[in-house]
Chains A and B, each alone.
Chain A
Amino acid sequence: MAIYTKEEARKILEKALSFSKADTCEINLSGYNSGNIRYARNTVSTSGYSSNQSLAVQSSFGKKSGTATIDEFDDASLEKVVRRAEELAQLSPENPEFMEPLGPQMYDEAITYSESTANVTPEYRAEVASSSIVPAAAKDVTAAGFLNDSAGFNAMINSKGLFAYNQSTDVDFTVTMRTNDGTGSGWVKRDFNDVDKFDADEAAKTAIDKAVLSREAKAIEPGKYTVILEPAASADLLRNMFRSLNARSADEGRSFMSAPDGKNKIGEKIVDERVNIYSDPLNPEVPTATWNGEGQAIKKTSWIENGVVKNLAYDRFWAKEKGVEPVPFPSNAIMTGGDASLEELIKSTKKGILVTRLWYIRSVDPQTLLYTGLTRDGTFYIENGEIKYPVKNFRFNESPIIMLNNLETLGQQVRINGNLIPYMKVRDFTFTSLSDAV
């Protein structure tokens, strides 16, 4: 019994809070049920289920805080964990950046929960594995994949009268397909809140097709190429840019968003004017909770508008230091796309490379957001609007900023890792060397 309703959670939290003798107290309660299936070598290797819940108390005396957690919720246990948090708080040094908990807040009703995801059965998971394994075996391909679904809740109460509750569901799927001659590899990743949106057959087919198509890749010379980046490829680079949307690291001169003289890049045009990035917890494709761990309400927020930095996130402490309103960190990233499908992007390409995904990404230079990494699981040469042949994997050296300055076309959006990222055609993507890895 890991999932509590709003009222059940409130009852436990209010009970726990009633034991508090600290100046301020904040208590979080969370729980989840999660099932998974793992397969490799065209056979299921593990299937599992876990169910867990936890309550965390943070008690503060002045600027001294202590935290304790417990997973038993009878009265004696609740009192025990509150006392332990208080003892730890008394022993702690003062935190000069301590912020008192917020009072009651207004939150939008989140749309993160889907009954069908919560009701996923072991039989369904086995079906998903079968949807990969059967067609793979028929094509002389070997599948290795993982499906994980979970349903959970988070709730929060504090001594200032704030109460927040959210229920959410998630399903994550990834599969790698390798041709049995060892020369081809394909891959897909899918993630949703609502499992009904997941098409296991389509996902498996995409990965199998990529694997078969990528057999016996040819080496072509590294250099600057026009690339079509699938969202899974660009998301990993863009994620590193999203991390820079933090006012404090910018103001302190530690990030790409830093500007000379202790300033930041708010108001500066940094990428192509067609680039718009915002976050929105109520987007039906990538919904998130409408409140964060600080108890702040999360609203739709624009981060990059027409290529210009619109906002940076200010946590409550930094906002106070700078005399501005706090801006909560984004809970998702939505990049506006265009109408073009992947097929149309390929058709409109005279010469270029289609990139399925990037991996092993490492930072080369944090201040210019330069990254290096490798292509993987389906890299294809395009000529005169057609995929001509698979090419050997490349090492790349590229910055998401430069990438978004070299934007040629934005395609349709796809959900990837809880974000909405469009297909992108980008000029002059820098491939620096070849990799022998399949």
Chain B
Amino acid sequence: MSNEFFFTRLQYESGDWDVDQRMPSNLLNSLVEYTTLKVDTQEKIITLASDDIFKSPFCYISGHKLVEFTKKEQENFEKYVRNGGFVFADDCNHDIDGLFAKSFERQMEEIFGPSELKKIPNDHEIYTIFFDFEDGPPTTSQELNGWGDDLVHDYLKAIVINGRIGVLYSNKDYGCEWDYDFRNKRWYKIDNTRFGVNIVMYALTS
């Protein structure tokens, strides 16, 4: 097995897992730009029901629709997280009352028990591990676009396993925020993918 970091997108049966297709390349490009991490530039799409996920250092799960894992998906998800894996879950609807948010939270409750998915403080290590984000999670331009709940969610939630985040959960729609051709990043004044670097670095080093 190569020692390169690779980005895994989880494919699950119930909803639309295949969103924000350019986001992974954009984030991988930022890792190359800012860190010395060795990176596989190809996103891997792995079905949650497959045991291949246990080889992934980092998984991403997203969508707009229903999250209702099959028995095997549920087992794999729990085993992966409890064994020290890291999942970044991002709500493509950026809507706490939306279908993805409600069904994903229900799914987490089913797997890890009620109230395990909790807000993390805005001075959590993840906000300073590489770049500094003094006010917690950076706002996305998606949050106030007149769609979804039209709120700025000034927190992230997580399921913590043995003092370390195992599932990081966002209603901020970072996926859509970072869904653009990485080659255009050079024209932006501020690279809005920097927080993604923090998430990956936390997953790999904490």
Contacts and interface: CB of A to CB of B under 8 A. Distances in A.
Interface string B135-173: 000000110111100000000000000000000000000
A430 B183 CA distance: 16
B145 A432 contact: yes
Nearest to A399: B187
A367 B189 CA distance: 8
A223 B188 contact: no
B189 A368 contact: yes
Between B146, B181, B189, the greatest number of chain A beta carbons within 10 A of the residue's beta carbon is seen for B146
Contacts of A367: 189
Nearest to B146: A434
Contacts of A219: 146
Between A221, A401, A406, the greatest number of chain B beta carbons within 10 A of the residue's beta carbon is seen for A221
A177 to B, nearest CB: 27
Contacts of A397: 141
A402 B185 CA distance: 9
For chain B, the bracket of interface size reads: 10 to 19
Nearest to B173: A223
A370 interface: yes
For chain A, the bracket of interface size reads: 20 to 34
A223 B20 CA distance: 11
Interface in A384-405: 397, 399, 401-402, 405
A26 B5 CA distance: 70
A368 B142 CA distance: 21
Contact of B144 (A221, A399, A433): A433
Interface in B18-45: 22
B179 interface: yes
Given A223-B176, A432-B145, A433-B144, A365 B189 contact: yes
B187 A224 contact: no
B180 A405 contact: no
A256 to B, nearest CB: 9
A200 B150 CA distance: 44
Contact of A433 (B146, B179, B180, B181): B146
B115 to A, nearest CB: 31
A135 interface: no
A160 to B, nearest CB: 45
A406 B184 CA distance: 8
5 contacts: A223-B176, A224-B180, A368-B188, A397-B141, A432-B141
Which 3 A-B residue pairings sit nearest by Cβ, starting from the closest? A434-B146, A222-B145, A433-B145
